[in-house]
Amino acid sequence: MSTQFQYVQSYAAMVRAYLAAFPEDEAVARSVGGAFEHFGVLEHSLLLQYGLQPDSRVIDVGCGAGRLTKQLVGYPKLQYIGLDVVPELLDYNRRKAARADFRLEQVAGNTMPAPDGWATLVTYFSVFTHLLHEESYAYLEQTYRVLAPGGRVVFSFFEFAVEDQWSVFEGNVDWVRKRSYLGHINVFMHAGDIEIWARRLGFRVVAIRRGDEPSIQVTPETATEAVPAGLHVLGQSYCVLEKPRPPAAEPAAVPPG
């Protein structure tokens, strides 16, 4: 399990190296995968498709520099907790993206500082792509705890079934060949396995979509000059799970009169 700590350290080291080499905005954009506005708009649009409400209570795990955070500041009644393991990214997020009432917190990983049933939406964009399966599973257990019944979790993932994602895997293979491990791990999941996880954890599967499907509807409300309205692909595949509501109680039997 030491990979977890290696990952956290290597991610933080990568961010620091970028900050030393590039202007701050460029360094943090590179640290979270680039295309700050593009992915922010896609993440926001995707959440709207799957139940984001103006008064949602959102936990954004691995919020990074705030690609999604920035998109959510326009909802005055929305409550937001952003969690990450890299303090420099949280600091940037606080200064450039978040609102004063948004909570941004550094976590050690796999913990979720929120009471049971608090959240209506939990997100992991481009986070399980870098964690051991065991860590992602532990996060989903915590997610089940913090979600209100009917609440949803949205996460993105890499899968072998999507041709475009092979270049990421080939990059990993190259590190192994050269015995030089400079970046952070990229982890693949299988849609069929996610269904098994969901069943074991008690979630209902709402959607599992391939990253190369144009399935994200950017509306005139979420579009920007750089990201026009229309159907877009996320690149990574994604999954939406729901914590079921308890079944309605049977009406009490009327005693025979």
Is residue 239 near ligand SAM by the rule CB under 6 A?
A: no
Contacts for 182 with CB less than 8 Å, ≥ 6 apart: 175
**Smaller CB separation from ligand SAM, 179 or 238:** 238
User: Of the two residues 50 and 204, which places its CB atom closer to ligand SAM in the complex?
Assistant: 50
| Site membership for ligand SAM, residue 189 (CB under 6 A) | no
Does residue 126 bind ligand SAM (CB under 6 A)? yes
30, 70, 130, 152: which one contacts ligand SAM (CB under 6 A)?
A: 130
Q: Does 89 bind ligand SAM (CB under 6 A)?
A: yes
Evaluated on CA atoms 212, 130, 109, 198, the torsion sign reads positive
- Give the tokens for residue 226: 């750089």
In this chain, which stretch among 19-27, 44-52, 122-130, 245-253 interacts with ligand SAM, using CB under 6 A?
A: 122-130
47, 64, 121, 227: which one binds ligand SAM (CB under 6 A): 64
Binding of residue 85 to ligand SAM (CB under 6 A)? yes
Alpha carbon distance 29, 19 (integer Å):
10
Dihedral, CA of residue 178, residue 183, residue 184 and residue 188, to nearest 10: -60
CA-CA distance, 249 to 251, in Å (whole number)? 6
Of 197, 192, 191, the C-alpha closest to 209 is 191
CA 127 – CA 155 distance, rounded (Å): 8
Is residue 243 near ligand SAM by the rule CB under 6 A?
Answer: no
DSSP helix/strand/coil, 200: helix
Instruction: By CB under 6 A, tell whether 158 contacts ligand SAM.
Output: no
C-beta of 201 vs 204, nearer to ligand SAM: 201
Instruction: Select from 27, 28, 32, 194 the one that contacts ligand SAM (CB under 6 A).
Output: 32
Find the length of the chain.
Answer: 257
Cα 34 to Cα 65, 87, 222, distances in angstroms: 11, 18, 19
CB of 144 to ligand SAM, least distance (A): 17
Binding of residue 67 to ligand SAM (CB under 6 A): yes
Residues 33, 38, 73, 138: which binds ligand SAM (CB under 6 A)?
Answer: 33
Angle between helices 24-31 and 87-96 (to 10 degrees): 120
Give me the residues that bind ligand SAM (CB under 6 A), please. 8, 11, 32-33, 39, 61-64, 67-68, 83-86, 89, 107, 109, 125-127, 130-131
